[in-house]
Every structure is written in structure tokens, then in C-alpha cells.
Amino acid sequence: MKSVAKDQPTILFVGGGSGGHIYPNVAVYERLVELGVDIDARFVVSERAIDDSILKKLDLRGHAISALPLSLKPSGFIKFYKAIRQAELETFDLIRATGARAMLATGGFVSGPALRAGSRASIPCAMVNLDAVPGKSNRFTSRYASDLFSAYETTKLGKAQQIGVPLRQSVINHVSAEQARLSLGLDPELNTLLVFGGSQGGGTINKAMAELVSRATVRDLFAGWQVLHMTGEQDLAGVRESYAKHGIPGRAESFCTQMGRAWGAATLAVCRAGAGTVAESWTNAVPCLYMPYPFHRDEHQRLNAAPVVNRGGGMLLKDRVDVHDNVGELMGPLRDLMKNHLRREQMQKAMEESRPMDGATTLAEWLITVLGIAVSPSKLLR
């Protein structure tokens, strides 16, 4: 972790609880570095283990605050209320201790108390709504932001500027499919099915795939194909065992540090529909079978995928939770797309012709403006 120079402005990048709230902040920070902007970046996250794990892997300076998700149960609400009050105080103390000059928050339960603290401290605060349906926390705490941005068009946050989901360069592929596959230890000549459940894994998808390849009628599909499957920790052993037992070539890993190469290797993907995953698949033009997380009441992941699906770049399936029902849900669409290369090419072209905006650059430019930092125009126009 690099040392901090006295003249470096401190920026608080707020968001946690999942990689979906952390990685967009990392993308903006990395974009600032690419533009030659020297800052002291502090990542304000939750106390969940996954947040600490992500920041350690990226060697970034983190500060965990006491925020908790909203609970409407009486005992849970009391804990929630005490936690957000404590988290607000912790963030306010951090602002004073570091002399933070701006805050960028990516929504969710960590952002609420931090934005309240930023508003109290009278520093510029931007909130970024990442999902198609702004959550309760975003709708309530957006009032504390001096500037609002949204990855989806919405009327629920006032005058939010629409931008693309901020993506790190490392999740965007820049090499051929063959090179990407070789770098991941895969056969460069085989079509590749990417299965990816997000930073916390996709348990129902993992179990469905492990069961699906046990069906003799389905295994014939994999002639000329291999699988690259990111499972999360819990399901890794079971998925590996199933693929090995049934002779399915490829790799299963708990986590991938080279997601750009993973997308570059992919011919087709089965994945969740978090805002970041949709943006990554769209930017890399990988045809997808999206299986939105089934336990969100507002089903916002279905709406996250809608712009890609409506343009013909993906198909929307329903995660039915039960493993056998999910095998049935997957089997037909997977068979159709694995066997029909012309359909996949049409989907890929639809994605290539409508790639989303570069949200990381937009937010980096907002920070440059509010901090009054001089940056070469030629760098901003690259």
C-alpha cells in the first residue's frame, strides 16, 4: 500500500456489502490514476468479510463502518438504527481525521450513513445508483448527495445524470479469444461456456449446472465445448466433482482475478444480472443467459438485464431455486444457443452495436472538477 503525500487530496469511496458496490469505486479510482491524478483513496466499506477480502486482494486502504442493512423486525430495526448512527459518526470522524475533500458513494446500506456524514461536513458528495430499480436506501439517502448519477434512467431519484456502470479496465478484454483461453489454462480451440454467479457466487446456478451435466442427453451438447465456472467457495468442490465425473472439460474456480480474460474466452455465458455483470457482459459483447437473483422482492436484476435483452444480446431466464426446475429452465435455451452459432453471432453483433457509456470516466471527471485539479485535456479525450 503506497504512502500518502501531504498534498494528496483525500477522497472517500463509499460502498460495500458485495463486490457490486466496491468494484465501481475501484474503477473510478483507477481511472483517476490513469489520468495522472494523485489522490489519497480511502474505501469505506461494511464489516462483512467479503469487503475486507476484496480490498486486501487489490491492496487498497479500507475503513469498515458499522452500517447494517435495513430490518423491519422490531429487534432488527433497533440494531439497524443504532448501527447507522454509529456508522455516521465513524464516517464523520474519518472525514475530520483525513481532511477528506469529496465523497463518491455507490449506493446500498453503507452509503446512507456515510452520505449523511458527508453532508454534515459540507464536502461534495455524489451518489451513484447502479440498479434499474433504486433501492430504499438509495431513494432515502439521495437527498444528502450534492450530485446524483444513475446507470439506468429513473424518475425516483430526482435529476440524476445517466451514465454507464463504472467498469475496471481489468474486466474488459483486449486480446483474442484464443489468447484469453490460453492465459486461463483452457483449450484455445474450444468454444467456452462461462458460468458466473457474481462476487458471492450463485448457489442455485452452481447446483443446476452440476446436475445438468449429469444428464446423458445434455452431455452430448458439450462436444467441442469447455466450461469456465466461477462458483464462490461453498460450491467449488461439488461442481468440480460433477464436471470431472461426467467428462466435461474446462475449469471451475472459486474466484477469478482476470475477469476480462474470462469474458474474452467466453463464447456464451450463464450468469446473474447484477448491474456490474450485465455491464461487463455487454461491454465484452458476450451473449448471455441471464438468471437474476431470485430473492429480491423488487426483481431489479430482471430490469438490469432488460436493455441488453431488448436489443437481442441476451435471454432472460427465471431462477426457480429448485435444482431440477432450474435444469429444466436452462436446458432448452442452453441447447439452442450452444448449437446455433449464427444466433450467437447475431446476439454478439447486437451487443457490439450498443455498448454502454464509460461511467468511470464521467465520475472521475466529476471528482477532478469538484477538487479543482488541472488535468491535460488530451488525457480526458483519450
Asked whether 42 and 13 are in contact (CB, 8 A), the reply is yes
Are residue 224 and residue 115 in the same domain, yes or no?
no
How confident is residue 378, by pLDDT bands cut at 50, 70 and 90?
low
Residues 268, 330, single domain; the answer is: yes
- Alpha carbon of residue 141 to chain centroid: 21
> What's the CA gap between 83 and 88, in Å, rounded?
9
pLDDT in tens, 28-84: 999 999 999 999 999 999 999 999 999 999 999 999 999 999 888 888 889 999 999
Q: DSSP per residue over 120-169, as a string? A: HTT--EEEEE-SSS--HHHHHHGGG-SEEEESS--STTSSPEE-PPP--G
Are residues 367 and 347 located together in one domain of the fold?
no
Enumerate the β-bridge partners of residue 288. Answer: 269, 314
- Same domain, residue pair 52 and 150: yes
Residues 291/318, Cβ–Cβ less than 8 Å? yes
Query: In whole angstroms, what is the distance from residue 187 CA to residue 179 CA?
Result: 10
Task: Identify whether residues 210 and 311 lie together within a single domain.
Answer: yes
Instruction: Convert the pLDDT of each residue in 106-164 to its tens digit.
Output: 999 999 999 999 999 999 999 999 998 888 889 989 999 999 999 998 888 888 999 99
Q: Is position 1 within any domain?
A: no
What digits encode the pLDDT tens for the residues 244-259?
999 999 999 998 889 9
Within the chain, strands assigned E span 10-14, 40-45, 62-64, 102-105, 125-129, 147-150, 161-162, 191-196, 225-230, 250-253, 268-271, 288-290, 314-316
- Count of the separate structural domains present in the chain: 2
Distance CA 61, CA 2 (A): 9
Confidence of residue 232 (pLDDT cuts 50, 70, 90): confident
Q: Based on the fold, state whether residues 340 and 373 are members of the same structural domain.
A: no
For residue 294, pLDDT over 70 is answered with yes
- Which CATH number covers residue 268? 3.40.50.2000
The answer to the question of residue 41 being in a domain is yes
Tell me, yes or no, whether 2 lies in a domain. Answer: no
Domain hosting residue 216, numbered range = 170-352
Inter-residue contact 351 to 308 (CB < 8 Å): yes
Mean pLDDT of 321-333: 94
- Is the model's pLDDT at 340 over the cut of 80? yes
157 with 253, same domain?
A: no
Are 226 and 329 in a shared domain?
Answer: yes
Helix (H, G, I), strand (E, B) or coil at 253: strand
- Phi, psi at 237, each rounded to 5°: -60, -45
